[in-house]
Structure 1
């Protein structure tokens, strides 16, 4: 008796020439539809506006500190204390500005003006404070590494499917438009 099947016999299950199976479909990606994604021009404009607001805050505090130091005829150590407190509070405010605004309002002032908001990728809900802080802190840290800060900001130009920057990927966030086409 032969162990090879004849042409009329089928080989036992699991043996024989391999059959071509089509690749499995890609997994369903949960996230916003493409028309809800914030465009890169609006994102850049929002970042610019936020930078202008931070600069104005710095100039305001610098002006107030300078006036207080010059108007008060106080010893030099009081002038130093005024500068330390003023610039310390400003630094704290600038460090908290983006994560707190995104956590509380879903967007910074610049993003709101440009019709953008930051949300979680999977369900579009607002970010928790932890995610908002992680998003900001990741971007902040990347700014200290040569070219990585620039790469972070440009990443959304080629990222698919959600046009995320690297700091968005770290926090599992996405930038959405609040105004759909035709509105």
Structure 2
């Protein structure tokens, strides 16, 4: 074989050999780009949710302090209200976001901003486990230096669905809320 001859047809020499018929392109699963939630609205919703959580915590703490001040002379009642108060604070922190996402697809902040959280595969509301996983992974990432910030900012460069890391963990996506017909 001289230098200017092409290789015999049975030798590939690393050349790409097309397959016939070409492989089918898998369908893209997920919402169209116009259905995705705006990052500014998502940030505003997160801020509003933080305000609502702080208000709920202040309400629970205020009730506990009020009850304890009214029952200063009874140690048992004071201890019980303290335990109930801590349980109430724990319930607010642990249940606000997961329960609301599971029940209605949106927290108060997301509703105000016209957003909802949906399963990436079919657009339906998250299951309780999916909503709790989404919240819990975000919560855990908040304890790792800078990871909590990276998690929240991830949607700025993620393609194609603008998911944060906690969305990826729960296979969820933030979309514009469906309007009532």
User: Normalization by structure 1: what TM-score?
Assistant: 0.84
Instruction: Quote the residue 2:85 is aligned against.
Output: 86
Of 145-154 and 81-90, deviating more is 81-90
Instruction: Quote the residue 1:107 is aligned against.
Output: 106
Q: Distance in 2 between matches of 1:161 and 1:100?
A: 27
Instruction: Quote the residue 1:48 is aligned against.
Output: 47
Q: 1:73 to 1:18 in 2, by over 3 A?
A: closer
User: Normalization by structure 2: what TM-score?
Assistant: 0.85
Could you list the structure 1 runs, at least 4 aligned residues long, displaced by more than 3 angstroms after superposition.
16-28
Q: CA deviation at 1:25?
A: 8.6
Secondary structure in 1 matching 2:51: helix
Secondary structure in 1 matching 2:125: coil
Q: 1:26 to 1:158 in 2, by over 3 A?
A: farther
Q: 1:73 to 1:125 in 2, by over 3 A?
A: same
Instruction: Quote the residue 1:136 is aligned against.
Output: 135
Of 88-97 and 74-83, deviating more is 74-83
Q: Distance in 2 between matches of 1:37 and 1:27?
A: 21
Q: CA deviation at 1:24?
A: 7.5
Consecutive unaligned residues of structure 2, counting only runs of 5 or more, are none
Q: How many corresponding residue pairs?
A: 174
Q: Distance in 2 between matches of 1:112 and 1:144?
A: 27
Instruction: Quote the residue 2:10 is aligned against.
Output: 14
Q: CA deviation at 1:142?
A: 0.4
Q: 1:75 to 1:30 in 2, by over 3 A?
A: same
Secondary structure in 1 matching 2:175: strand
Q: Distance in 2 between matches of 1:179 and 1:77?
A: 50
Secondary structure in 2 matching 1:78: helix
